[in-house]
Structure 1
Amino acid sequence: MKAVSVVTIKKELKHRSTEELLELCLRLSKFKKENKELLTYLLFESHDEAGYIETVKAEIDAQFKTINTNSYFYIKKSIRKILRNIKKYARYSLKKETEVELLLYFCEVLKDFKPSISKNVTLMNIYDRQVALIKKIVSGLHEDLQYDYHIKLDELEN
């Protein structure tokens, strides 16, 4: 089965009743964990972005505590998984400020991680790519926010 475009789906949804839309949303939430997570964000957490960021930061901390530090192989796998989750949570929000906050926090925690990431080229590359991504996103934000985030970036790079 081939999926139709978003435009076609939008047109079709306009012709559905409220009850049918409710059933469609509930049915959609049963198929993938990401669908349920997105609906949870939209319904319960989108009104409090600061609370959402703090929740995700707490989850990042918990994930960093569970990393197997026996070898850099396991550390790399875990770091990539954490980064994947951060990207997913940032996609739910669609706010660039949220993405920058989460990536900055990730970089701070990663920089202070023991054993040091500076002893592994792959981990340093992951860190450097995220710092570059933060700079790119910040350049598109409002000037006041740019200033605040540049201060945090300078702290991160020193």
Structure 2
Amino acid sequence: MKAVPLKELKQELGAISNQELQELCLKLSRFKKENKELLTYLLFKSSDEDAYIQSIKNYMDEQFKIINTKSYFYIRKSIRKILTNTKKYIRYSQKKETEVELLLYFCEKLKNFSPSIKNSQQLINVYNRQLILAKKIVDTLHEDLQYDYKLIMSELQDNYY
């Protein structure tokens, strides 16, 4: 089945009743976990962005604690999973400040991770790519926020790699 363009979907959604719209949303949430997570964010978390950011930071803290450190293979695999999930949560918010905050927190956790990521070029590359991405986003923000985030970024870059 071919998907209909967004414009047609919008027109059709405007023509249906609130009850039908509610039923459609519930059906969507049953099919994919991501749809349910997005609906949860939109209904419950979007009003308090700071609490949402903190919950994702707590998630990252927990995930970094349970990483299998027996080999760099497992470390890389776990860190890629954490980053993938973090980016998924960033997509739900679609706010640049949230994205920068979470990317910088991820980099901070990665920099302070033990055993050091200096022994794995792949992990160093992941770290550097996220810092570069955060820098690009920071450059689009308001000047006051840029200053604050650039201070954090300079700490993450100084004397490291």
TM-score, normalised relative to structure 1 = 0.98
Displacement of 1:108? 0.3
One-letter code aligned to 1:39 = L
One-letter code aligned to 2:151 = I
Aligned to 1:148: 148
Tell me, which stretches of 5 or more residues in structure 1 are unaligned? none
Computed over aligned residues only, the root mean square deviation of the Cα atoms, in angstroms, reads 0.6
Aligned to 2:8: 8
Displacement of 1:2? 1.1
Displacement of 1:16? 0.5
Q: Does 1:57 align with 2:48?
A: no
Aligned to 1:77: 77
Aligned to 1:22: 22
Where 1:50 maps in the other structure, the secondary structure is: helix
Aligned to 2:97: 97
Where 1:30 maps in the other structure, the secondary structure is: helix
Which runs of structure 1 show a deviation greater than 2 angstroms over 4 or more consecutive aligned residues? Answer: none
Displacement of 1:110? 0.3
Deviations 1:49-108 (A, max 9, x none): 000000000000111111111111111111111000111101000100000000000000
Deviations 1:24-49 (A, max 9, x none): 00010001010000011010010100
One-letter code aligned to 1:116 = S
Displacement of 1:6? 1.4
One-letter code aligned to 2:36 = K
Aligned to 1:133: 133
Displacement of 1:4? 1.2
Aligned to 1:124: 124
One-letter code aligned to 1:122 = Q
Q: Give the length in aligned residue pairs.
A: 158
Distance 1:24 1:52 in 2: 26
Distance 1:142 1:6 in 2: 31
Q: Which moved more, 1:1-10 or 1:73-82?
A: 1-10
One-letter code aligned to 1:121 = Q
Identity among equivalent positions (%) equals 65
Aligned to 1:33: 33
One-letter code aligned to 1:151 = L
